[in-house]
Amino acid sequence: MSNLLKVPTMAEMMASGETPDVLFWVGCAGSFDDRAKKITKAIVKILQNCKVKFAVLGAEESCTGDPAKRAGNEFLFQMQAMMNIQVLDGYEIKKIVTGCPHCFNTLKNEYPELGGHYEVQHHTQLLQELINSGKLRLEGGAEFKGKKITFHDPCYLGRANDVYEAPRSLIEKLDAELVEMKRCKTTGLCCGAGGAQMFKEAEKGNKEINVERTEEALETSAEIIATGCPFCNTMMTDGVKLAGKEAEIKVLDIAELIASASDL
Amino acid sequence: MISPIIFIILSILGFGLFTKNALKIRQNILLGRDLDRTDNKAERWKIMTLVALGQKKMFARPIPAMLHMALYLAFVITQIELIEIIVDGVSNSHRIFRPSLGGFYTFMVSFIEILSVLAFIATIAFLSRRNLLKLPRLNMKELAGWPKKDANMILIMELTLVTFIFMMNGADEVLYSKGWSHATNLGDGSLGLSVSSWFGPMLFGGMSEHSLHLIERIGWWGHLMMVFSFLNYLPYSKHLHILLAFPNTWYSNLNKKGRLTNLESVTTEVRLMMDPNADPYAAQDENAVPVSFGAKDVTDLTWKNLLDAYSCTECGRCTSSCPANITGKLLSPRKIMMDTRDRLVEVGEGIRKNGKDFKDGKSLLIDYISEEEIWACTSCNACVEACPVNIDPLSIIIDLRRNLVMEDSKMPTELAGMFTNIENNGAPWQFAQADRLNWADEQ
């Protein structure tokens, strides 16, 4: 725990003979992207505040292989998967929480067939559990009281894994007014980053997908666009900037909303 | 009487030709790769009942769903009347079930008549939104030419079918009321059919016995001819969904939509690479069949992908929910399915004519579906979600990408960079793996 935030790594835990209850899988965006790092820190603060015994892999974590797989490079995906499974099994990991729906989907759905069996949660699911069990209390909730918040469903959380309610129930816990976009839940529109699009220019068209989605979010006249995915966050933030609406509408991860409401 | 003989010959031809074409389609579908979709049968029956029989996913758009439901119910229930037509046709009788079934007969035929009227209205509505309102979803460029004609042809055939039913029943009502009908006279003065008992006298009331019999026969034979034409048109048409929706939903993917298949052939290779005891110089298994990764042509896809292609009725709900298509990109999931079917028909014919090793120098990828199309996909599953018969265009797109990347190393340059980064640093960007925890030290 040589770092400022006192985030324990698996290696440190093991050295001191301890086992965490849950491994926090930070993900590449959460580790390196400046915006996504704030989401990572919000998740860490909540976990620490709720006294959840967790650890991260730190330098032993590596890409799950999701973007490689979706871009057609099955070799690279399986190489990544099998190396990650070796690390995870080496630490006898049972339960994982991810900060990213893409990591969540891959670890949960695509690793078991390759030998990696874990109980995997997206951070919104864990947060919902913490609130339901009374471990997490939203004392400073007044901050979002009555504010209009719209939730953008990340494809890999929603359609891909049928998780629609966990993030929404968290928004309701903030006493905020949840306003839905025209296309939401099962019919939610992608932000444009999935399927490895995040890492390439879009094909020729007449509009960027994130612009289309941001316009829809702006139509709700919400003050906050909540997401649960670092890539959606980037795409929606860019969309808001392009529309020149940064002053009126913020793009925040559910974890950031919860951390902020708990005065963390 | 000659008519039972004509009837029997027509029926044998009608059903025979259909069976021949149906077997060809089956043969084509089985050109696909193996895939086991027979687990969890209880769940499969449930999905088929809800999605195919109950049309659950159609109701995402309630108005077209209701119109479609009317057409569908009319179609299914009219087949009951067809049983009588067949029995009458073979035994040279007329309305053979009426005396024995009594009130139930009147109820069933009346019910069919009401549904037929609704179906007629629905068909007119469908024709208008396609041709007059020019609904964008039904007028996209992939529908130009045959697909558009196909769609209109089906609707016109349906209108004709309903018209024949009412010619038959309407004229027969008048005949019956005047004691001229060939149906057993029960002394009740009317067949009591819900629509025809007022519609028949209104339209055909003043006609001679001869004309009435003629109209009734035109209706009866016309109905039968339309049924056989329709049946034999199906194998060439997008309308095949009325049959294939059932097996296609039964064989649905039961996994979470986000889960892509893990290529087994790759797993074997990767395990060898990671096994410290593996002998890199070991002789290859002599029986090993060389496999190509992903799909270049239809025969590289699974049989379920091919069944999907035949089950597609080109409604375009997938395309209208596709983020790439909405924003003007070339990709259209509907076109992926249409291309797959067109290419499969071509390959199937080629194989039947020239034997198993048939090659025509063409392939699904490149000749039908371009690289630009498949790279525009965000893998968001909106198309899969939208499909009323559980077709999965995404799995075809991913398999085509796999072939491009793993067989031909063809991909957008940025993606090549992303792969290199993952290989070298364990992240899609150029950051060192050792720095993964740096965020914990930043304020």
What average pLDDT is seen over chain A? 95
pLDDT recorded at residue B200 = 92
Lowest mean pLDDT among A163-172, B190-199, B310-319: B190-199
Instruction: Say what the pTM is.
Output: 0.94
Quick one: A93 and A165 in the same domain?
no
Helical segments of B312-426, H only: 317-321, 323-326, 333-354, 371-375, 382-386, 393-408, 413-425
pLDDT of residue B102 exceeding 90 = no
Instruction: Judge whether residue B283 has pLDDT over 80.
Output: no
CB-nearest to A7 from B380, B415, B440 is: B440
Of the listed ranges B138-152, B177-191, B359-373, the least confidently predicted one is B177-191
- State pLDDT tens for residues B207-240: 999 999 999 999 999 999 999 999 999 999 999 9
CATH number belonging to domain B292-409: 1.10.1060
User: Which helix H or strand E contains B214, and what residues bound it?
Assistant: helix B209-233
Q: Lowest mean pLDDT of A224-238, B79-93, B155-169, name the range.
A: B79-93
- Dihedral sign from CA coordinates of B331, B333, B335, B336: positive
Q: Give the pLDDT confidence of B378-399 residue by residue, as tens digits.
A: 999 999 999 999 999 999 999 9
* A157 and A255 part of one domain: yes
Percent of chain B topping pLDDT 70: 99
In a domain, A193, yes or no: yes
Q: Count of CB contacts below 8 A, A vs B? A: 230
Q: Domain end: A76, A106, A128, which one?
A: A128
Which residue of B lies nearest to A155 if distances are taken between CA atoms?
A: B380
Q: Which amino acid is at B3?
A: S
Query: Is A142 within the bounds of a domain?
Result: yes
Yes or no, beta carbons of A61 and B271 under 8 Å apart = no
How far, in Å, CA of B65 to CA of B58, rounded?
A: 5
* Residue bearing the bigger pLDDT, B80 or B348: B348
**Chain A residues near residue B384 by CB distance under 8 angstroms:** 159
Q: What is the pLDDT of residue B273?
A: 87
Tally of domains within chain A: 2
**Shortest CB distance from B436 goes to which of A59, A194, A196?**
A59
Do residue A53 and residue A146 come from a single domain? no
Residues in Cβ contact with A200 at an 8 Å cutoff, skipping those fewer than 6 apart: B375, B412, B414, B415, B418
> Does the structure show a pLDDT above 90 at B420?
yes
CATH of the domain at A42: 3.40.50
**B355-383 b/e (C-beta count within 10 Å ≥ 16 → b):** eeeeeeeebbbeebbebebbbbbbbbbbb
Last residue of a domain, one of A106, A128, A150: A128
Per the CB < 8 A criterion, the answer to whether A188 and B414 are in contact is no
Residues A148 and A252 in one domain: yes
Query: Does residue B292 surpass a pLDDT of 90?
Result: no
Q: What interface predicted TM-score (ipTM) does this complex get?
A: 0.95
Find chain A residues with C-beta within 8 A of B376's C-beta: 202-203, 205
pLDDT of residue A1: 57
- The H or E element containing residue B148 is helix B146-177
List CB contacts (< 8 A) between A163 and chain B.
Answer: none
pLDDT digits (tens, 9 = 90+) for A85-120: 999 999 999 999 999 999 999 999 999 999 999 999
Q: Which residues does chain A have within 8 Å of residue B402's beta carbon, measured at their own beta carbons?
A: 72-74
Residue A140 pLDDT: 57
Please compute the mean of the pLDDT values over residues B397-416 and round it to a whole number: 97
Q: Which of residues 88-147 of A touch B (CB under 8 A)?
A: 105, 108-110, 113-114
Q: What is the predicted pLDDT for the residue at A142? A: 75
Over 90: is that where the pLDDT of B187 sits? no
pLDDT of residue A262: 85
Mean pLDDT score, B75-102 = 90
DSSP-derived 3-state class of residue B302? strand
Interchain contact, B266 vs A5, CB within 8 Å: no
Write the burial class of residue B103 (CB in 10 Å: 0-12 exposed, 13-18 middle, 19+ buried).
exposed
pLDDT digit string (tens) for B308-317?
999 999 999 9
The domain in which residue A184 lies consists of 138-261
Q: Using alpha carbons, select from A230, A17, A24 the residue that is nearest to residue A118.
A: A24
Identify the bridge partners of residue A96 per DSSP, sorted by sequence position: A23, A120
Instruction: Clarify whether residues A109 and A217 are in a common domain.
Output: no
Mean pLDDT of B82-91: 90
User: CB count, 10 Å around CB of A127?
Assistant: 28
Residues A118, A214, single domain; the answer is: no
- Amino acid present at B212: L
Contact residues on chain A for B254, CB-CB shorter than 8 A? none
Q: For residue B386, which of B328, B436, B326, B302 has the smallest C-alpha distance?
A: B326
Give the residue among A23, A22, A16, A29 at the shortest CA–CA distance from A237: A29
Q: Which residue of B has its CA nearest to A183?
A: B321
C-alpha A50: how far from chain center = 18
Give the confidence band of B277 by pLDDT, cuts at 50, 70, 90: confident
Q: Considering only A102-116, A135-149, A212-226, B185-199, which range has the smallest mean pLDDT?
A: A135-149
Q: How far is CA B108 from CA B66, B194, B401, in A?
A: 21, 10, 53
A238 and A155 inside one domain:
yes
**Where is average pLDDT lowest: A134-143, B256-265, B330-339?**
A134-143
Give pLDDT tens digits for B51-72.
Answer: 999 999 999 999 999 999 999 9
| Min distance B394 CA to chain A CA atoms (Å) | 10
Determine the distance in angstroms separating the CA of B336 from the nearest CA of chain A, rounded to an integer. 17
Which residues on B lie below 8 Å from A4 (Cβ)? 440-443
Q: What is the mean pLDDT of residues B156-182?
A: 94
Q: Contact, B248 vs B391, CB < 8 A?
A: yes
- Both A192 and A112 in a single domain? no
Domain membership of residue A5 (yes or no) is: no
Q: What is the CATH number of the domain that holds A176?
A: 3.40.50.10700
Nearest CA in chain B to A197: B378
Which of the residue ranges A216-230, B263-277, B295-309 would you say has the lowest mean pLDDT? Answer: B263-277
